[in-house]
Structure 1
Amino acid sequence: MNLFRKKSIQELIQETGQKDVTLKKELGAFDLSMLGIGAIIGTGIFVLTGVAAAEHAGPALIISFILSGLACVFAALCYAEFASTVPVSGSAYTYSYATFGELLAWILGWDLILEYGFASSAVASGWSGYFQGLLAGFGIHFPKAITSAYDPAHGTFVDVPAILIVFLITFLLTQGVKKSARLNSIMVTIKLAVVLLFIGVGVWYVKPVNWSPFMPFGFSGVTAGAATVFFAYIGFDAVSTAAEEVRNPQKNMPIGIIASLLVCTVLYIAVSAILTGIVPYQKLDVKNPVAFALTYIHQDWVAGFISLGAIIGITTVLLVMIYGQTRLFYAISRDGLLPKFLSKIDKKKQTPLINSWITALLVSIFSGFIPLGKLAELTNLGTLFAFMTVAIGILYLRKNKQVPKTGFRVPFVPYIPILAFVFCGYLAIQLPKVTWIAFAVWLVVGLFVYFGYGRKHSNLNIDGDHLKEAGKLKVKSN
């Protein structure tokens, strides 16, 4: 039964102040909102919109974004309550420790390692492609061998630009969370300006005839499109990993999570409507659909800004994803389920330095050497699994009379958590069978790690052993 041993919410909160060196509380609601927008608007809107429209949804891509957005809004409300109630690093991993116990918490943590780590690798690869394209416009080209992941048949061996951006972002993150958040806010402002520029220019070139037929692949195509573009929403949950570095988390965490998601949902719907209104959906199966649409209407000068905005946008996604990964490792390590050196905090910078550089090494290996292929779908499934677990966790919280009454609360319980679970579950079953198999293999590997290391080294296991020894000594003394 000790597989399901739990930590109370009070214990989780108390542990954050027990170390000599802790994470520095410097973030407010605006910083969190910008972190969320920085994580969400990126690869999804600049890359996946075209593929989803051409192969799955057609002009009904608008509905696909609404369906994915609804699933995320319901899940975001659940995350907001947990983040307000349990203002501790670790996101869904930490929440599960308080609700379902250690084994499921580990499974969620391992699942989130998949989401943040592999998504970071995929985003770094995407950044490399856009960056090389930008340099090519100025006549600058890298040797082919170092332009992409290992693929001897095509003459490529390592993606050097992807590795370099990972280490550059990690260096920034090790300088302190406030500096990282400040630079992120600047880049997000530029990114939002570029998206609004596309909307402002493109709306005048919309031809309603391009919206007919509106649903060429039927409703099944719309749901398949929703499962695909769900990747465009991944990131708001990374805001919750910043909980220990937030001033007044009970108030600011819900604002950051919900505000960032609502802003991005509105922009996604507007961009998808204009995109499919400008270009017939059959022609959108390209790597840069937003820039392509502007070139299609002979607005090349705007297309250049869009490409630059895409690079900046993808950079902010990479920053927040790597940040989320380091804080996840920090939380799991602090509980003893991973080696303790991953939770060591630098006294001067008040950031997990060793943890950050190990994360950079792992992400750079995946992004630099391994062709990632279906990674977006695998990341989607991992995220949906986490969302569903958090939704069920809210139902448990409401039955726990020890939960504090202050902070944000999900409205219309149990309906909102149930809707979050159903929407996310429906999107998950739209993903290919091979994705489910790969996800199952990942979880099995995680179980081997837990039973081989984590269960024995868990703080709860060590504390339990101490209690047993104390009990034995007491019996002997009597």
Structure 2
Amino acid sequence: MGKLWSKMTQKKDPKEYQQKDAHLLQVLGVRDFLALGVGTIVSTSIFTLPGIVAAQHAGPAVVLSFLAAAIVAGLVAFAYAEMSSALPFAGSAYSWINVVFGEGFGWIAGWALIAEYFIAVAFVASGLSANLQGLLEPLGFKLPAQLSAAFGSNGGMIDVIAILVIVIVAFLLSRGTSNAAQVENLLVILKVAAILVFIVVGATAIKFSNYQPFIPPHKVNPDGTSFGGWQGIYAGISSIFLSYIGFDSIAANAAEAKDPAKTMPRGILGSLLIAVALFSGVSLVLVGMFHYTNYTGNAEPVGWALRHAGHPIVATVVQAIAVIGMFTALIGMTLAGSRLLYSFGRDKLLPSWLGELDQRNLPNHALILLSIVAIFLGAVFPFSFLSQLVSAGTLIAFMFVTLGIYKLRPREGKDLPVPGFKMPLYPVLPAVAFIGALLVFLGLDHMAKLVTGIWFIFGVLVYIFYGMHATDQED
């Protein structure tokens, strides 16, 4: 037991990470990180969750759920900005926690993020497939049922479109991050433009009577969840929070940033600010166009609202660009997830070939493994199952990072550099951010928490029987 605790608290030397990551090309600037962040955060969720959460939990007050979730995400983003500025290494929370808490705690944080990225890549690919098929079906393009959905879902055996989009993104990223960033920048501009078109056109159909009462009276839904009152707003926060987790994908690529002390904070905080504004705008317009009860069970509320307000052409254009927007999220999640797996291989906690770079100095072994696992999940498991699991692992990593500020701050200017950004109101704000992330986690679906617990038990066993012994040999 003493040896296990000693290994868990053995801190990594940041100079070792600098040396190992030195071969990664530093080609990403603020604009690239803003595009990665907005492309990942403003994704599937913005076109689906505002209507769904309004109907199930919050009514017109869905915007308050989005704002409250954004406040928690913003507090965590402050911690991420300071960490990534002081410790610009691949792997984000995994690498940071290794430096400030030790190897075992870094493993736990990284294991949580591995689950997020495996599931998130599959989740977005599955959602993109469903939306693309819905868009193409009126044009006469329809795949056989066996090839159009995950196993056991609507007569499906395998989702070939989900497989195809993951392969396309993997090929694009295997050619280099600068090429991927150029594609991402262009697609994000299109997506933001489509969202702004919806807000402007939809605003002309707002009826202020749809906002009354803004916070409906509380009641319990048939499934036991809350609707209305502060309880409904809180239930909405836990459902919505997955919308904001994408800023971790920026931090995971810190080793490939130009001037990371400035680039990382601006990319993380800037992309989150843009996302909050867009989510709030869509939420307010959507519940103003039609009474929130119209969005019950509606998987495409934005397109539905535009069509029923007399704008079918705008609805088609916005939905088409929404599919493109999901492609940008897939790029961001795949890029970040492959860098996290590379970090595990770099540190020998998983097989060392994951930490090897190819002739272009790219971690393509890690990219291939991530893509294979995501293809399996996205092609076989249905979208609704994947959606329940995305947030849990990330929130655990978020809690580690907020507490990590207390270990980081005393070392800044000593054995660690002074970061270009510091979390304000220290030491109060890191604790508030931790409590906020914990409260959101406690509000998650019971099944999501159960599966997360099983994943962590498996992860601890992998560390005890493989990871800690592999690093012993390295030492």
Q: TM-score range by the shorter chain?
A: over 0.9
- CA deviation after TM superposition for structure 1 residue 441, in Å: 0.3
Q: What's the counterpart of residue 184 of structure 1?
A: 184
Task: Check whether the contact 1:279–1:296 (CA below 8 A) recurs between aligned residues.
Answer: no
Q: What's the counterpart of residue 436 of structure 2?
A: 423
Q: What's the counterpart of residue 257 of structure 1?
A: 268
Q: What's the counterpart of residue 211 of structure 1?
A: 211
From the superposition, tell whether residues 454 and 6 of structure 1 become closer, same or farther in structure 2 (CA, over 3 Å).
same
TM-score of the two chains, using structure 2 as the length reference: 0.94
Task: Check whether the contact 1:198–1:306 (CA below 8 A) recurs between aligned residues.
Answer: yes
- CA deviation after TM superposition for structure 1 residue 430, in Å: 0.9
- For 1:91, the aligned partner's letter is S
Q: How does 1:105-184 map to 2 (within 5 A)?
A: 105-151=106-152, 154-184=154-184
Task: Provide the secondary structure at the position in 1 that maps to 2:142.
Answer: coil
Task: Check whether the contact 1:170–1:322 (CA below 8 A) recurs between aligned residues.
Answer: yes
From the superposition, tell whether residues 229 and 406 of structure 1 become closer, same or farther in structure 2 (CA, over 3 Å).
closer
- CA deviation after TM superposition for structure 1 residue 13, in Å: 2.3
Q: What's the counterpart of residue 16 of structure 1?
A: 21
Task: Check whether the contact 1:44–1:233 (CA below 8 A) recurs between aligned residues.
Answer: no
Instruction: After superposition, give the CA deviation of every residue in 1:112-169 in whole Å (9 maximum; x if it has no partner).
Output: 01111101101110000011112112111101110000017x4210001000100011
| Rg comparison, structure with higher value | 1
From the superposition, tell whether residues 374 and 218 of structure 1 become closer, same or farther in structure 2 (CA, over 3 Å).
farther
Task: Check whether the contact 1:12–1:86 (CA below 8 A) recurs between aligned residues.
Answer: no
- For 1:423, the aligned partner's letter is G
**Distance in 1 between residues matched to 2:389 and 2:215, nearest whole Å:** 26
Q: What's the counterpart of residue 454 of structure 1?
A: 467
**Distance in 1 between residues matched to 2:102 and 2:366, nearest whole Å:** 25
- For 2:106, the aligned partner's letter is A
**Distance in 1 between residues matched to 2:303 and 2:429, nearest whole Å:** 37
Q: What's the counterpart of residue 282 of structure 1?
A: 293
Instruction: After superposition, give the CA deviation of every residue in 1:178-221 in whole Å (9 maximum; x if it has no partner).
Output: 00000000000000000000111111111111011211211110
Task: Check whether the contact 1:71–1:420 (CA below 8 A) recurs between aligned residues.
Answer: yes
**Distance in 2 between residues matched to 1:137 and 1:373, nearest whole Å:** 24
Task: Check whether the contact 2:40–2:246 (CA below 8 A) recurs between aligned residues.
Answer: yes
Q: What's the counterpart of residue 441 of structure 1?
A: 454
**Distance in 2 between residues matched to 1:165 and 1:14, nearest whole Å:** 34
Q: What's the counterpart of residue 350 of structure 1?
A: 361
**Distance in 1 between residues matched to 2:419 and 2:235, nearest whole Å:** 40
Query: After alignment, is 158-167 or 355-364 more displaced?
Result: 355-364
- CA deviation after TM superposition for structure 1 residue 406, in Å: 4.1
**Distance in 2 between residues matched to 1:10 and 1:394, nearest whole Å:** 19
**Distance in 2 between residues matched to 1:183 and 1:369, nearest whole Å:** 28
Report whether the alignment pairs 1:317 with 2:329.
Answer: yes
- CA deviation after TM superposition for structure 1 residue 433, in Å: 2.2
- For 1:15, the aligned partner's letter is K
Q: What's the counterpart of residue 330 of structure 1?
A: 342
From the superposition, tell whether residues 3 and 406 of structure 1 become closer, same or farther in structure 2 (CA, over 3 Å).
closer
Percent sequence identity over aligned pairs? 36
Q: What's the counterpart of residue 236 of structure 1?
A: 247
TM-score of the two chains, using structure 1 as the length reference: 0.93
**Distance in 2 between residues matched to 1:140 and 1:378, nearest whole Å:** 31
- CA deviation after TM superposition for structure 1 residue 15, in Å: 3.2
**Distance in 1 between residues matched to 2:446 and 2:142, nearest whole Å:** 39
Gaps of 5+ in 2: 1-5, 217-227
**Distance in 2 between residues matched to 1:8 and 1:413, nearest whole Å:** 25
From the superposition, tell whether residues 181 and 98 of structure 1 become closer, same or farther in structure 2 (CA, over 3 Å).
same
Instruction: After superposition, give the CA deviation of every residue in 1:305-355 in whole Å (9 maximum; x if it has no partner).
Output: 1111210111111111111110000011100001111111111x3212222
Task: Provide the secondary structure at the position in 2 that maps to 1:410.
Answer: coil
- CA deviation after TM superposition for structure 1 residue 27, in Å: 0.6
**Distance in 1 between residues matched to 2:127 and 2:447, nearest whole Å:** 23
- Pairwise CA RMSD of aligned residues? 1.3
**Distance in 2 between residues matched to 1:36 and 1:248, nearest whole Å:** 17
- For 1:137, the aligned partner's letter is P
